[in-house]
Structure 1
Amino acid sequence: MSKLEELINKLCPNGVEFKTIGELFDVRNGYTPSKNNDEYWENGDISWYRMEDIRANGKILNDSIQHITKKAVKNKLFPKNSLMVATTATIGIHALIKNDFVCNQQLTCVSIKEKNKEKLNIKFCFYYFDIIDEECVRIANQGGGMPIVSLEKMKKLRFPVPPLEVQCEIVRILDNFTLLSAELSAELSARQKQYDYYRDELLTFNKKDENVKWEELGKYCQRLKGTTITARRMKEINKENGKIRIFAGGKTMINTTEHNIPSSDIIRIPNIIVQSRGIIDFIYYEKPCSFKREMWSYTHTNSVTLKFIYYYLKKNIEYFKQRGNQMGSMPQISLEVTEKFKIPLPSMNKQERIVNILDRFDKLCNDISEGLPAEIEARKKQYEYYRDKLLTFKELK
């Protein structure tokens, strides 16, 4: 029998008490001080959190990207060791804040009421809010332009209060799981930096080197046009799963059957797919595929290693993003920008050697079926399985 089972059998064998969030926590919306008042922002030293902080720095935060001054604070600061929950637009995310703070109106501060502080471990609350996040998604008002969680509905959500010793043991177990995942993520980050370094070293060439030719992409690669697929047709195709992959903007990928696409629009040779609108990117794909007309692809026509060109284009992705036309509703790169882009062409042997090295790094850093990403995903699923089991309680009658 585990220590947790012993504690439950000893301290709460018949179940645990449930209360509402409103009974246990103070719930307050965030706000944004006026951007027109410099006194609210200049030389500020008070943390003002936004969703960007969670995206950039994770779910346990000690400081924010932006700061405000004391003059910008309404009433009083939100207390440290509070939870910050997304309640509009991006719902289903929360963070534990370790310092006194303010947050913007997209976020809601949830802090343990003074009278309940001896009953609740904030780290236990942090873990249980993974379940509350799912409830927030369920109760969000979807009628307007963006989903919003009513604070009154949120306050009515139910929250378990097991004995403090049980909470602490659950926290210990889940902390160990998250530590393993954090170590793997740190390892992946280190390997990604190593990969970027070696990629840049391997793909940097001296233009005075006589053994390296520089040619325009359009001269050495044949451009293949995308097919015309209406949004309605895409929706119909989306219902049929098959072996032909259709690439669309924003990295949307749909598997469909071959009869849905004219044979002339299916590319059966390795190619570099260019996402030329919205999210500008390059994708290397070797199986039969198709793609929408807003995109195009390149395949080799001369003695050149296509995947070498792909890696060189990926290395220079910022060059293309900076040259993307921003005048319309979304960025896009012109055909001329890619056709005239100069690529280095060392010997075929050197191209292939570079590709082999980068393939191994790429698999380690990015392959979701092998390497570190696969292990991280497995750990994540394991954590979610045990988290759900640990945080499921029988209610005391």
Structure 2
Amino acid sequence: MSKLKELIQKLCPNGVEYKTIKETVGLNRGKRLTKSELLEESNTEFKYAVYHGSKDTPLGFYNNFNAPKGTTIVVNTGGIGGVKYIDKDFWCSDGSFWLGKTNDINGKYLYYCLSGYEDYFYSKKRIGGVPTIDKSVVENFSIPVPPLEVQEEIVHILDNFTELTAELTAELTARKKQYEYYRNHLLTFVDDTAMMPIEEVCKGHYGKGNTIPKDGGEYPVYGCNGIVGMTSTYNSEDAPIVGHIGSAGLVTWGEGKHFVTYNGTICEPIRDKINGRYLYHQLINLHLEKYVKGNQPFLSFSDFQKVKIAVPTLDVQSRIVSILDKFDILTSSISEGLPKEIELRRKQYEYYRNQLLSFPDNKATA
């Protein structure tokens, strides 16, 4: 940070000029390709990713490119407002705009200037017909243009933040795979451990109410995929919850006393037969999404309650839980594990990005 301060003091102590995208690098509209022209997987010839209406998932792969590496795109349909920096030559379809280049603006700096305004771009979408944003929305967006040395130092600082987040995300992915391996290994028994239908160790019943109670009470409200509010009453305690409408098949853990809406199925453990946390890990290991059916994804408890699971003694269950809970906390806890660390780093990055890209306008201070 000290180097950046020195550069700013030396090169732009009175602020910088703000210029629009149109005045600086310019904006290009992508060119449409049909699905029949693309391959789903890349090969030595069709190696150029095609970006259309998503910043995260290429539409396919093509044998040519129309935008060079180091280019930023802004998605104008589908995932409207998404901003992505692409470090390889690629094809930009007409579902995205791609920004040009000049010698006095660092390409990665340009990306950082726009990446904090995805919500802004989304808010400018046209509703009539197919939702989209006009080219003028991005063309008329203004960015601060400090000297190139300052831009490069800002990129260096922000790259360090994003690299750290990427490392933590990769670590989280590896730990999830490790958790899945040990979960499957520990919950698969080859001896004479009793195999029992879920209905014999668990009382399943749907939650209550078609609306989410949010009266600000002390008990968390669980829907089909986690906490959605707080209320003053509860209908479940320390039990797995399985989404049956919405995020059907998703298993979450209801901590302490809590309220479950109709979107969730309460899997109340019969406690003299099964440890609630052991049941939770078993339900995850069943991959309940395979029982989901219907046009509106729906999971019926009766469809899987006859599935048999291994039910060892409670002592053995407790030992298994002590191992798997460590992985679960590490990979999913928003208060203790890697997700919390990643979220903290993301907020730190966003804070510094906003700070580093806030320059006085030298026209206003003149």
Per the TM superposition, whether the score is higher than 0.5 is yes
**Residues of 1 paired with 2:299 and 2:32: CA distance?**
36
- Paired residue for 1:308? 278
Cα drift, residue 145 of structure 1: 6.8
Q: 1:286 to 1:176 in 2, by over 3 A?
A: closer
**Please, which of 122, 139, 148 is the counterpart of residue 107 of structure 2?**
122
Letter in 2 for 1:84: I
Three-state SS of the structure 2 residue aligned to 1:25 is coil
Structure 2 unmatched runs, 5+: none
**Please, which of 117, 120, 124 is the counterpart of residue 139 of structure 1?**
124
- Paired residue for 2:8? 8
Letter in 1 for 2:9: N
Cα drift, residue 101 of structure 1: 1.7
**Residues of 2 paired with 1:251 and 1:268: CA distance?**
14
Q: 1:69 to 1:180 in 2, by over 3 A?
A: closer
- The structure in which a higher percent of residues are helix is 1
Three-state SS of the structure 2 residue aligned to 1:286 is strand
Letter in 2 for 1:282: V
Given that residues 367 and 374 in structure 1 are in contact (C-alpha distance below 8 angstroms), is that contact kept between their aligned partners in structure 2?
yes
Letter in 2 for 1:216: P
- Paired residue for 2:317? 351
Matched, 1:267 2:262: no
**Residues of 2 paired with 1:305 and 1:16: CA distance?**
63
Cα drift, residue 166 of structure 1: 0.6
Three-state SS of the structure 2 residue aligned to 1:278 is coil
Letter in 2 for 1:68: Y
Q: 1:140 to 1:308 in 2, by over 3 A?
A: same
**Residues of 2 paired with 1:268 and 1:9: CA distance?**
60
Q: 1:284 to 1:323 in 2, by over 3 A?
A: same
Three-state SS of the structure 1 residue aligned to 2:22 is helix
Matched, 1:387 2:336: no
Say what the alpha-carbon RMSD is for the aligned residues. Answer: 2.4
Matched, 1:369 2:335: yes
**Residues of 2 paired with 1:78 and 1:192: CA distance?**
36
Cα drift, residue 248 of structure 1: 2.4
- Paired residue for 2:61? 67
Given that residues 92 and 134 in structure 1 are in contact (C-alpha distance below 8 angstroms), is that contact kept between their aligned partners in structure 2?
yes
- The number of equivalent residue pairs is 357
1:206-245 equivalent positions in 2, closer than 5 A:
206=190, 209-210=191-192, 212-230=193-211, 234=212, 237-238=213-214, 240-245=215-220
- Paired residue for 1:256? 231
CA displacement 1:321-364 (0-9 Å, x = unmatched)? 223213x2x22222321221111111211111000111111111
Cα drift, residue 252 of structure 1: 5.7
CA displacement 1:28-55 (0-9 Å, x = unmatched)? 33354223x4x55596343212466626
Cα drift, residue 104 of structure 1: 3.7
**Residues of 2 paired with 1:52 and 1:200: CA distance?**
34
Given that residues 235 and 260 in structure 2 are in contact (C-alpha distance below 8 angstroms), is that contact kept between their aligned partners in structure 1?
no
Cα drift, residue 162 of structure 1: 0.5
**Residues of 2 paired with 1:180 and 1:294: CA distance?**
37
Structure 1 unmatched runs, 5+: 56-63, 71-75, 259-265
Cα drift, residue 2 of structure 1: 1.6
Cα drift, residue 313 of structure 1: 1.0
Q: 1:100 to 1:356 in 2, by over 3 A?
A: same
**Residues of 2 paired with 1:284 and 1:106: CA distance?**
40
TM-score (norm 1): 0.82
Matched, 1:295 2:276: no
Cα drift, residue 221 of structure 1: 1.2
Cα drift, residue 271 of structure 1: 1.7
Letter in 1 for 2:82: I
Cα drift, residue 184 of structure 1: 2.1
